[in-house]
Amino acid sequence: MRILVVEDEPDLLASLAQALREEGYAVDTADNGDDGLFNAEGTDYDAIVLDVMLPGQDGWEILKRLRKTKKTPVLMLTARDQTRDRVKGLDTGADDYVVKPFDLEEVFARLRAIIRRSANKTTNLVEIGEVKINTAARHVFFKDRIIELTAREYALVEFMVLHRGEVVTRTQLYEHLFDENDSSLSNLLDVHVSNVRKKLGAEFIATRRGHGYCIE
């Protein structure tokens, strides 16, 4: 899962990015509106965390422009908690909002919710053969036993599950699992796929040669 965080307060941006990375997300950051819009338009993020008050273009402006080309789920961070601000945000096309000051747990939960909704999934529980996944608790069970996955491995499983039945290309996986700071030239992706197959059964992820991977 790759996320863009747009926030102009450096200390807030740094800690948000760190916390999200530790949650297993690939995180890109922008500290002003112009860079934020550029990134948001250029990459298929799974979600965007967008502050309202930004130098350059503000959050509303970015949202309005982004909605012309992309449906990326957007979580607004706002210091204004009046109803009209919330209504404005939701009407402009935001998927959800969090009022500052917020708890990280709440931001995580809302992010998970908007990502799930954008993939048309309504529950946190997915069952594929003998594999069960709880996306809220980030737990994966195989043959009713909890399986330890690294954050990156979990992200791979979650992304594949959200796109169940579709062929997911290697490029897509690179885009969604690694952020701009990771080297995409490595064979890291093959390592993760191989590890997941070892833990959840070889048939869990099928390879479509020349196309990518797929979960039936």
Please report, as ranges, the residues that interact with another protein according to CB under 8 A.
8-9, 11-12, 14-16, 18-19, 22, 53-56, 58, 77, 79-80, 82, 99-105
CB of 131 to another protein, least distance (A): 27
Output the smallest distance, CB 82 to another protein, in A.
8
Shortest gap between Cβ of 53 and another protein (angstroms)? 5
Q: Considering the complex, what minimum distance in angstroms separates the CB of residue 35 from another protein?
A: 14
Query: DSSP letters along the chain, please?
Result: -EEEEE-S-HHHHHHHHHHHHHTT-EEEEESSHHHHHHHHHHS--SEEEEESS-SSS-HHHHHHHHTTT----EEEEES--SHHHHHHHHHHT-SEEEESS--HHHHHHHHHHHHHHHTT---SEEEETTEEEETTTTEEEETTEEE---HHHHHHHHHHHHTTTSEEPHHHHHHHH--TTS-TTSSHHHHHHHHHHHHH-TTSSEEETTTEEE--
Residue 41 Cβ vs another protein, minimum distance, rounded to whole Å: 21
